[in-house]
Structure 1
Amino acid sequence: MPIGCRLSFVLSEHLQPRRRRSGSGPTRPARLTLDQLRVFVAVAEREHLTGAAHALRLAQGSVSAQVRRLERALGLLLLHRVGRNVRLTDAGRAVHRLAVATLEQAEAIEDLAAGFREEDHGEVSVAAGLVIGAHRISAWLGPFVRAHPRVDVRISIAAMQPAIEALSTGKVDVAILGTAPPASNFETISLERTELVVVVSAQHALAGTRNAMTQLAQHRYLAHEHGSATQVHANKVLGDLAELSPTIELEEGALLAALHTGLGFAVMPRAIVESDITAGRLAVLPHRGHAVAVVFTAMRRPGMQTPVVQAFWEHLGAMAAM
């Protein structure tokens, strides 16, 4: 038999998977590894086992063994020996092209992971309640964004229940609302405590009126958007008084402007309108009963967080402590 034929026979026999003994379970195919691909690419580019071994700082026997394992895993002959050198087979050239691309992608994944382990890279997504989104979120985010210029921040403005659902399902990393849901499993930070007040423009007919609350039915009620945490608590302040008034439901950005024009009365977190009250642009209507307190609350799911989300959470905690 010609030598070439015998070598071909021996190599093809070598590439067949080893038979397992009967009763030892199903045969599992050999799996290729990134290390095998790295060694194969080094050999293919140098066409020399010893040169690849020097470049990789490995023993030549280890390089040969890795190539053999790769050939066995693929069931293909990848290299021809030509004297002291090696040449790629047709299959070897095709595998080499894909191996180079695979190793580049693997390196990109490692670089991406390294970036996400740094707190100044990555993304943090926040669901803000309607009132929070209109009046607070920008001021709270500003210092964090300036300190982390490479971080992407995605903000969605939502009513209370959709924001909680987005947090529960992992669509957002943090939710900031006008109240914390009762009996939740979220980690929380109390960012700001305030109370709800009934306010009108300083030029409104109710401003400075005695027993103004008994006259609400004669004036328009400027209601927050449906689903707002503030609107839920507003009912505790007004009781059934608001039901007697004609109502205008406004988006948060428009509600404060409507107040200033004297369009009607509204229930607002005092912290949101404190500057307007102090400046005399808005007036607080006295009401009977206990004050209704609200707490602007940040929430997140318990468990491991990415470094950038953890950095944002610590930023919120520092703001709460101020």
Structure 2
Amino acid sequence: MELRQLEYFVAVAEERNFTRAAERVHISQSGVSAQVRQLERELGAELFDRSARVATLTVAGKAALEHARAALSAADAVRRSVDEVTGLLRGHVSVGMVVGCTVLPLFEALAAFHGAHPGVELSLTEDNSDRLVEAVRGGALDLALVGTAAPPEGVGSVTVVSEPLVAAVAPGHPLAGRGRVLLREVCAHPLVCMPAGTGLRTVFDRACADQGLRPGIALEASAAGAVADLAARGLGVAILSESMVAGHADRLTAVALRDVEDPALLALVWRDGVPAVPALLRRMRQAFGVAG
């Protein structure tokens, strides 16, 4: 018994006609008939009643049909599994990360993936979050770590970090002694921000727009460390996330924003259809401690 015999048998059963079945499997009608006859001889029973113009299943044919379909489905599953492994052995994954953001779990995941699948070529690109998301949507990137105000549409996504925005100020700044402030109080001072297109900036801009505020952005820098350093030198109030300020606690004071509820998100986004992406995504989830 061969898989092609089962394929032809299922085709005839579903088309109820040998000629249409032959067109479906792209061989001659005589070839389909011969293979089905051979299958019947091996099984010791006729599978079709050929007395009418329509090929009708016999009792034996009805009993065999479900199992034939299951066998073909299992064979397809074997092919898909092998294709996935083959892709992992010699594939390529293009990864993006938000510029100026050194996230150690990302590097740990890439290293673990490379150790498990050394034949897969990895590439890493930095850019701002908006362009990274568009690159994933368009197929230029397979997976990216981005900052965002909300899960992007049109791509797979999972949030790995969610943190509130804070205002970071140097010692001696008028806001330094305040535990919590309003957004309008922060916007009364020169600000140091990450550029438009980054997740942090998007959250901040939306919060300002909701309150009708027009903040004065004095300086912009794409790296969180640079934003923090500028603020530490007294050049403005930095808008950052809690963890970004934590590394500069000796020079900056984090002040909570009372009326900004939406957090800044760090998310993994990916496109489907790339054999190695599910395996890399599993490593990413493990490194960031995200279930799933």
Does the TM-score normalized on the shorter chain lie above 0.5? yes
Q: SS of the counterpart of 1:178?
A: strand
Secondary structure at the residue paired with 2:214?
Answer: helix
2:235 is aligned with 1:271: no
Q: CA deviation at 1:230?
A: 1.2
Q: Which residue of structure 1 aligns with residue 58 of structure 2?
A: none
Flag the 1:221–1:120 CA change in 2: closer, same or farther, 3 A.
farther
Q: What runs of 5+ residues in structure 2 fail to find an aligned partner?
A: 1-81
Alignment match of 1:251 (pick from 202, 222, 225): 222
- Does residue 141 of structure 2 align to residue 141 of structure 1? no
Where does 1:62-211 land on structure 2 (aligned, <5 Å)?
Answer: 117=86, 119=88, 121-130=90-99, 133-136=100-103, 138-149=104-115, 150=118, 151-179=120-148, 184-209=153-178
Please state if 1:289 is matched with 2:259: yes
Q: Does the 8 Å contact 2:170/2:253 carry over to 1? A: yes
Whole-angstrom CA distance in 2 between matches of 1:289 and 1:234: 11
- The aligned amino acid for 1:229 is G
What's the C-alpha RMSD, in Å, of the aligned pairs? Answer: 3.3
Deviation at 1:159, TM superposition (A): 2.3
Deviations 1:53-102 (A, max 9, x none): xxxxxxxxxxxxxxxxxxxxxxxxxxxxxxxxxxxxxxxxxxxxxxxxxx
Equivalent residue, structure 2, for 1:11: none
Given the superposition, is the C-alpha separation of residues 147 and 163 from structure 1 closer, same or farther in structure 2, using an over 3 Å criterion? Answer: closer
Distance in 1, matches of 2:232 and 2:264, equals 23
Larger radius of gyration: 1
CA contact (8 A) 1:191 1:316 kept: no
The match for 1:100 is none
Q: Distance in 2 between matches of 1:119 and 1:203?
A: 55
Distance 2:131 2:217 in 1: 28
Give unmatched runs, 5+ long, in structure 1.
1-112
Deviation at 1:271, TM superposition (A): 2.7
* CA displacement at 1:184 relative to structure 2: 1.8
Q: Give the distance between the partners of 1:251 and 1:290, measured in 2 at CA.
A: 22
TM-score scaled to structure 1, two decimals?
0.53
The answer to whether the 8 A contact 2:143-2:268 is kept is: yes
Q: Distance in 1 between matches of 2:263 and 2:168?
A: 16
